[in-house]
Amino acid sequence: MNYRIFPEYDAETEQYSVVCPELPGCASFGDSEEEAMADIKEAIDLYLAPDLPLEHAGPPPPQR
């Protein structure tokens, strides 16, 4: 499954953040873009983990 992710650099904190809008609350940050991108992939995997209660199951990716 592919979900949209949006990286953003914050000049004030000098950090990168990444959000996945289809998965509410699924976000990450890091000192480098690479770190933030690696962390969001892990966050998505954890969000969609099959052993979590059903209410935490993510929605399907958008149809293109």
Beta pairing partners, 15: 10
Tokens of 42: 């892990």
In a domain, 64, yes or no: no
The answer to whether residue 26 sits within a structural domain is yes
In a domain, 1, yes or no: no
Please give the residue range of the domain that contains residue 16. Answer: 6-51
Number of domains the chain is built from: 1
Task: Please indicate, yes or no, if residue 57 is contained in any of the structural domains.
Answer: no
Residue 46 lies in a domain: yes
Q: What are phi and psi of 30, to 5 degrees?
A: -170, 165
Q: pLDDT tens across 5-47, in order?
A: 999 999 999 999 999 999 999 999 999 999 999 999 999 998 8
Domain assignment of residue 61, yes or no: no
For the whole prediction, is pTM greater than 0.75? no
3-state SS string over the chain?
A: CCCCCEEEEECCCCEEEEECCCCCCCEEEECCHHHHHHHHHHHHHHHCCCCCCHHHCCCCCCCC
62 belongs to a structural domain = no
Average pLDDT on 49-59 reads 63
